[in-house]
């Protein structure tokens, strides 16, 4: 049986890192990226450990095996997470519901990934629902960004309830900034 929980051990962080490496964009064929989606950022174990010290991330486990993750990334992590700092700089002036995004209480979902053999089993939604259960009392919004070339991920985020509020291009890709309003 698959359990949705939060990271509690360094071994789980190591498994997140391994799953991240298996699904990184530059290691996949064009066909696989199109059909299965991909992750863009490679998280080092050290970065995952630093993020975990702030707030534990959410994982799906089959026994002792991490089969999915949805990284909890508070804005404070931008002090040691350069990619996050870049994302935040691109969203500082974004308006959502007639207010600057930074006026809302929000955190960032750093990345979500499901092991290939566990996809299409509802884990994507379950990981996000756990985000909502744990954090909706303290935050108004969950914010993330999705590569515009990752149609599978965009559709999955929309199915959960995310809305695209901004699109921008950086040196690596074009991104849809998506938000999920908790309350």
Place of tokens 């700092």: 85
Q: Provide mean pLDDT across the span 73-84.
A: 88
Question: Residue 23: its pLDDT value, please?
Answer: 83
Question: Has residue 41 got a pLDDT over 80?
Answer: no
Average pLDDT, the chain: 92
Residue 18 near residue 57, CB atoms below 8 Å: no
Pull the structure tokens for residue 54.
């702030």
Q: What is the pLDDT of residue 93?
A: 83
Question: Which token pair is 48?
Answer: 């995952």
pLDDT of residue 36: 79
Token reading at 128: 């996000």
C-alpha distance across the termini of the chain, in Å = 31
Has residue 55 got a pLDDT over 80? yes
Q: Which CATH architecture has domain 2-181?
A: 3-Layer(aba) Sandwich (3.40)
Using CA atoms, how far apart are residues 98 and 46, in angstroms rounded to an integer?
A: 38
Which residue has tokens 């530059």? Answer: 26
DSSP symbols for 74-96: -GGGGGT-HHHHHHHHHHTT-EE
């Amino acid at each position: 049986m698959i359990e949705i929980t939060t990271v509690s051990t360094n071994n789980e962080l190591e498994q997140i890192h391994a799953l991240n490496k298996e699904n990184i964009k530059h290691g996949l064929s064009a066909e696989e990226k199109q059909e299965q989606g991909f992750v863009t950022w490679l998280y080092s174990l050290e970065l995952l450990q630093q993020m975990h010290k702030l707030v534990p991330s959410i994982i799906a486990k089959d026994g002792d095996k991490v089969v999915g993750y949805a990284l909890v990334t508070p804005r404070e992590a931008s002090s040691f997470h350069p990619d996050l700092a870049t994302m935040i700089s691109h969203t500082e002036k974004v308006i959502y519901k007639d207010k600057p995004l930074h006026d809302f209480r929000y955190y960032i979902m750093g990345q979500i990934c499901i092991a290939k053999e566990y996809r299409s089993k509802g884990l994507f939604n379950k990981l996000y629902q756990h985000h909502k259960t744990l954090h909706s009392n303290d935050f108004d919004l969950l914010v993330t960004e999705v590569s515009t070339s990752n149609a599978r991920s965009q559709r999955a985020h929309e199915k959960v309830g995310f809305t695209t509020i901004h699109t921008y291009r950086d040196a690596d890709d074009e991104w849809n900034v998506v938000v999920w309003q908790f309350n």
